[in-house]
Amino acid sequence: MDTARIDWHARAAALAFDGRAFIDGARVAAADGETFACRSPIDGRSLCEVARGRQADIDAAVASARRAFDDGRWAARAPAVRKKVLLRFAENILAAREELALLETLDMGKPIQYSLSVDVPAAARCIAWYAEAVDKLYDEVAPTGPQALALVTREPMGVIGAIVPWNYPMIMAAWKLGPALAAGNSVVLKPSEKSPLTALRLAELALDAGLPPGVLNVVPGHGPEAGEALALHADVDAIGFTGSTRTGRRMLEYAGRSNLKRVYNELGGKSAFIVFPDFDDLGRAAKTAAGAMYFNQGESCNAPSRLLVHEDIADEFVQAVVAQLPRYAPGNPLDAATVMGALVDEAQMSTVLGYIEAGRAEGAACLAGGQRVRAETGGLYVEPTLFDGVRHEMRIAQEEIFGPVLSVIRFRDEAEALSLANGTSYGLQASVWSSNINRAHRVARALKAGTVHVNQYDEDDITVPFGGYKQSGNGRDKSLHAFDKYTELKTTWVRVDGA
């Protein structure tokens, strides 16, 4: 069916929800029967009750994952077999795309057009890409002397705890599940309490594809309950975490307090978008800045939330960005034309509005937006907001807001631009816009960020690593490098007599 003609409101009204956990291949209630309400930020309505996972549920899920790992029902299968199952899993995701997109939109408020065109295909492609990769990886024989043979092999780690956020629930889950499952691990996935529904459905689709029971368990619940129990668990070998830098610190503490499990943190950002006056298409740069900033309601870890503009072009450039803003006026995410949807929950909305207040109080000029809108719908919508006259030390220049708020900072020369760009605790992403090839390369090299874009911000692919410098995290999601997180390297020395 032509998806542009779907009546998503009608589909939403007819959709069935299941908020139970997924443990050992089956849907189950929490051990103590407790639930929490899952509300849609679109209009505040209750979607369903979700199992409130706690210690007992995490214990059951980890035990199931451990049994599945130890008996080799998945880890000991040939890579080509794992590939087939995971390719079927990816196909199942695509076959369920309308249902998954709708669940994602209802649960966290992003426009249905993007759930459908971005989130579902990206999650499927990620799973398929790791499936395709896994039977093409070779181990190593080290170049030692003739009297011995040294094999360097990769082995799955065991039980992986995956703890993910709510801004791209399916994609973040897929970035963990793809490499972890392809490598042969078992996984316990803890989705955000703000967006648990698609992760639970993914587990069913994986089972239908032939993933043996116990290899993938999903336990919804709150961070300090299910999340903490999983990260502290003595039988979990590694945590693949994506979320805030604040929680990332805790992950390291949990590992220190328990079994020194590996911790891979993918954390926050305050990415710089640096525009030099020598760039020859400032109109495209302005359009890209707005598009990247306000996509997903500004709830993207790599949103270019600091716009650094050379003072000679700043007035003109800022006006060009402001001119883009009406396109991002919030609308009902179930309407096919909506480009910006609802913020995920009340807490996130009040954080965003609090930063807008802080920006005003610290003396920045709010040139556009700054208000909650559509409150009469019961939904959580904030206008695309732009602050000019931001100084580097202001909170809106230093702290991650994670909402549709852009801060403009002016600079005089290249050295100042670099010092501003690198002058936060984050280092996730950055971009430089210049038609001078030497400057573009020079600045790109000097930026302390896991990903640097030159004269664009949109390129993205599963083939490239994603992650941060400094307090934006460690390790990398995506690409073959992600296998490093979910495998151990083993050296096996074999004596060769008579050589």
**Residue ranges binding ligand NAD (CB under 6 A):** 163-167, 172, 190, 192-193, 223-224, 227-228, 231, 242-244, 247, 250, 266-269, 301, 400, 402, 428, 466, 468, 473, 477
Of 131 and 163, nearer to ligand NAD (C-beta) is: 163
Cα 243 to Cα 119: distance, rounded to the nearest angstrom: 18
Which residue, 97 or 476, is less far from ligand NAD as judged by CB?
476
Closest approach, Cβ 102 to ligand NAD, in A, equals 21
Rounded to the nearest angstrom, the gap between the alpha carbon of residue 394 and the centroid of all alpha carbons in its chain is 26
- In whole angstroms, the minimum distance from the beta carbon of 441 to ligand NAD comes to 25
What's the closest the beta carbon of residue 54 comes to ligand NAD, in angstroms?
12
Main-chain phi, psi angles of 192, to 5 degrees: -65, 145
Residue type, 269: G
What is the nearest approach in angstroms of ligand NAD to the Cβ of residue 246? 6
Could you tell me if 340 and 373 are in contact, meaning their C-beta atoms sit under 8 angstroms apart?
Answer: no
DSSP state of 330: B
CA distances from 302 to 169, 269, 423 (A): 15, 6, 16
Length of the chain, in residues: 499
- Which residue pairs, CB below 8 angstroms and at least 24 apart, start in 243-250? 243/163, 243/164, 243/165, 243/192, 243/267, 244/165, 244/268, 244/400, 245/400, 245/425, 245/426, 245/471, 245/472, 245/473, 247/223, 248/471, 248/473
Determine the residue type at 103.
L
Catalytic residue among 204, 225, 266, 400: 266
- Round to whole Å and give the CA distance between 73 and 213: 9
In three-state secondary structure terms, 148 is strand
Least CB distance to ligand NAD at residue 283 (A) = 29
What is the C-alpha to C-alpha distance for residues 324 and 171, in angstroms, rounded to an integer?
27
Cβ proximity to ligand NAD: between 92 and 302 the closer is 302
Rounded CA-CA distance 310/115 in Å is 36
Q: Are 205 and 96 in contact, with CB atoms under 8 Å apart?
A: yes
Output 384 or 473, the one with its CB closest to ligand NAD. 473
The CB-of-323 to ligand NAD minimum distance in angstroms stands at: 28
Query: Whose Cβ is closer to ligand NAD: residue 192's or residue 338's?
Result: 192
- 301 is annotated as an active-site residue: yes
Name the E strands within 184-318. 186-190, 216-218, 238-242, 262-266, 272-275, 306-310
Query: Which tokens sit at 498?
Result: 């008579």
Could you give the CA distance from residue 300 to residue 110 in angstroms, rounded to a whole number?
12
CA 106 – CA 315 distance, rounded (Å):
39
CB nearer to ligand NAD: give 268 or 369.
268
Q: Which residues, other chains included, contact 13 with Cβ-Cβ below 8 Å and sequence gap of 6+?
A: none
For the CB of residue 47, give the shortest distance to ligand NAD in the complex, in Å: 18
- Whichever of 237 and 477 has its CB closer to ligand NAD, that residue is 477
Asked if 424 and 399 count as a contact pair (C-beta separation under 8 A), the reply is no
What are the Cα distances from residue 365, in Å, to 68, 384, 466? 57, 14, 33
Q: Which residue out of 193, 228, 301, 383 is catalytically annotated?
A: 301
387, 404 contact by CB (below 8 A): no
**Rounded CA separation 390/308 (Å):** 10
Least Cβ distance, residue 452 to ligand NAD (angstroms):
15
Catalytic residue check, 366: no
The CB-of-373 to ligand NAD minimum distance in angstroms stands at 22
Containing 20, the helix (H) or strand (E) segment is: none
Question: Which residue number, 19 or 269, has a Cβ lying nearer to ligand NAD?
Answer: 269
- Using the minimum distance from each CB to ligand NAD, give the nearer residue, 37 or 148: 37
Q: Which residue has the tokens 């151990």?
A: 488
Active-site amino acid positions: 266, 301
